[in-house]
Amino acid sequence: MGILAVGSIALDSVETPYGKAENALGGSATYFSASASYFNSVSVVGVVGTDFPHADLEFLKKRHVNIDGIKIEQGKTFRWGGKYHDDLNQRDTLFTELNVFEHFNPIIPDSYKNCDYVFLGNITPSLQINVLEQIKKPKLVVLDTMNLWISIAKESLLEAISKVDVILINDSEAKELTLESNLVKAAKKIFEIGPSVVVIKKGEHGALMFTKTSIFSAPALPLEKVCDPTGAGDTFAGGFFGYLSKSGVLTDEVLRKAMIYGSVMASFCVEDFSLQNLKNLSEEQIANRYKEFVKLSSF
């Protein structure tokens, strides 16, 4: 059985120095599912409004993502708008319109309750806990979050983190969560909360993975064309968890390769707007980019 993914499904309006996209497919569950679908089967639970384009649902179906758990509710789909600076690591959120997402109550269909692999994408921590309570006995749970929940729901975020095996978090969030400016110390503090693997994403500077016995650094591929970094973190999560779940074991070697597959998928994501570049990748493209990462970091 594949991965159950829960998170936001959005229509994003994004402006970068290279152009703009209006009402384009976005959301944490969407980027994650499209990316993970290259490695394993994915069932997604989320909510959209009646305005959600049919073509976007079709896109997920074409990627063999099971969308039976996407509820279509009366009202408008969650919308998010962002504008990137010339330094693409800096972005301003222009608007967040929750719409039907405001009262999202993820009901896990009976057929998903026995799933082994669970991805808790960016939603309120109390909903992440609620999802976990509905799953029988997962083998591996991965959680992603964002700075908003550290600011407004830290207690329930800490509870959610205490229940998962792997946390994906970016460097500034890790510092904010643990009140530690040193990432090694921050990772150690997160181990104390519960997870046994801590992945700290550093945008264009790659990602660090901490286990209790080792540290691994995955580079980001230096790309000539970075068009839109939106969703890179969720796409990383999709490659990472997609590969881990397909491998079925949690050895150091598998975890390290998963970090590279995460970076491979994120590198494709940022080369175009929205999920354009995740639509139709071939096995060969993924394998070739994996080799580029090997070349980039061997010495």
Binding stretches for ligand AMP (CB under 6 A): 8, 10, 12, 26-28, 80, 96, 122-123, 148, 230-234
Going 249 to 220 to 87 to 231, the CA torsion angle's sign is negative
**Nearest distance from residue 172's CB to ligand AMP, in Å?**
12
**Nearest distance from residue 23's CB to ligand AMP, in Å?**
11
Looking at beta carbons only, is 28 or 43 nearer to ligand AMP?
A: 28
Looking at beta carbons only, is 16 or 211 nearer to ligand AMP?
A: 16
Number of H helices, E strands in the chain: 10, 13
Identify which of 281, 227, 280, 232 has the alpha carbon closest to the alpha carbon of residue 21.
227
Instruction: For residue 137, give Cα distances in angstroms to 119, 196, 197, 292.
Output: 14, 17, 19, 38
Looking at beta carbons only, is 125 or 211 nearer to ligand AMP?
A: 125
Q: Please give the residue whose beta carbon sits closest to ligand AMP in the complex.
A: 26
Looking at beta carbons only, is 104 or 117 nearer to ligand AMP?
A: 104
Evaluate whether 102 touches 75 at the Cβ level (below 8 Å).
no
| List of residues 6+ apart from 11 with CB closer than 8 A | 23, 24, 25, 26, 51, 52, 77, 78, 79, 80
Tell me if residue 157 falls in helix, strand or coil: helix
Identify which of 222, 217, 221, 255 has the alpha carbon closest to the alpha carbon of residue 239.
255
Looking at beta carbons only, is 40 or 230 nearer to ligand AMP?
A: 230
- Amino acid identity at 136: K
Residues in the chain: 299
Looking at beta carbons only, is 211 or 239 nearer to ligand AMP?
A: 239
**Nearest distance from residue 38's CB to ligand AMP, in Å?**
18
- Amino acid identity at 62: K
**Nearest distance from residue 89's CB to ligand AMP, in Å?**
11
